[in-house]
Every structure is written in C-alpha cells, then in structure tokens.
Amino acid sequence: MALSVLPWAQQLPASRLTQLPKEARSVSRSNGAERSKALHQRILDNNFGIVRCKDLVWRRQDSERFYAEHSGRFFYQRLVEFMSSGPMRAYILAREDAISHWRELMGPTKVFRARFNSPASIRGQFGLTDTRNTTHGSDSLESAQREITFFFPDFCADEWMKKEEPLFRSGQIRYDHQNQIHTLSLSS
C-alpha cells in the first residue's frame, strides 16, 4: 500500500499502501479541478488500486504537524502555508511496490530536475516550484502507516491487509465510478 496526497485538493503499501497529491492556492485558482482529474486518471492508468480517496482542506496546524520533521528548514514556512492554502486530495493506493512506483511516477522533489530528467513525471509536468511540486508520497512503509493514520484515522490497515489486500492483489476488485475508488467485486 502507499499514501499519496494530491494538493488540490495528494497512500498505503505493506508491500504496498500510500500517496498524497498537493495542489493549492495558485493551482486550484486556475485549473485545479482539471489537474486533479488528470492526476486521478494517471493513478488509474498506472494500475494502482484506489483504497480510499478524500478531498479536504488543511488548517495551518495540520500542515505544521504533518511536516514537523522539516521545521527549521528554510522552506518550512512556505511549505506549511502552501499546504494549508487550498483544497487537496488524499489517497490510499495499493499495488505491488506502491511506494517506489508512486515516487517514480511523481518524479524528483526539485522541479527543474523533474522537468529536465523526468519530463513525463507528475512533478515534471505540473510542478511549479520546489515547494509547490504538486504531490506528496510516503517514502517508506513506516511513514505510509503514519501518514495514512493522519489522513484516514478510521482506516484500520491491519484489518485491510488481512481481509482485503489479498483480494486487491488477485484483482478481485472493480472501479466504483461514483465514489472514485476500487471496491471488492462481490463473489456470491
């Protein structure tokens, strides 16, 4: 599983659960909805199972808490402000090696590196600056678990791993267009 947050609203992997897209003020003011749709399609096209998906807006203190490990870095204040400046979308994504696949799909943190070295990546395509780089993705299983709890406090990863992960893994899922997530295909 992997956790991802798309800011316009930005995942979970046990081998696989987590990602978040970030996109806020400047982006959502113009074409945030369109971008969010494109990012959602990119997730589907890359064979991620969408376990959970939720639109939300952070308060400043949410942003400060989520990025506490960066407090003291020169970009902390701008990051905190950006992440609480508009809507974002949080995902729990599942697929084999979800964390590394998502991070590859996102591209490098620094936007010019992304543009030149990975122009087809999400950050290469949509990133504005090193801070406003469109998406977040957990960097390890441990951070995925912590970040999933942050965004989806009611989600029980252990139970999901036990009951649903094997069915996601074997493809016994279907896409629910209305709720924009994958659900188990019921075998009766």
Ligand X SMILES: Nc1ncnc2c1ncn2[C@@H]1O[C@H](COP(=O)(O)OP(=O)(O)O)[C@@H](O)[C@H]1O
Active site residue 40: no
Residue with smaller CB distance to ligand X, 75 or 159: 75
Task: Using alpha carbons, list the distances in angstroms from residue 168 to 56, 76, 95, 148, 161.
Answer: 26, 37, 8, 18, 10
Tell me if residue 182 falls in helix, strand or coil. strand
Segment interacting with ligand GTP (CB under 6 A) among 1-9, 83-91, 100-108, 128-136? 128-136
Residue with smaller CB distance to ligand GTP, 128 or 167: 128
CB of 92 to ligand GTP, least distance (A): 27
CB 29 within 8 A of CB 95: no
Residue with smaller CB distance to ligand X, 62 or 130: 130
Catalytic-labelled residue, pool 40, 70, 136, 177: 136
Q: In angstroms, rounded to a whole number, what is the distance separating the alpha carbons of residues 93 and 150?
A: 15
Which residue carries 């188990």 as its tokens?
184
Catalytic sites, residue numbers: 136
What residues make contact with ligand GTP under the rule CB under 6 A?
A: 74-75, 78, 129-132
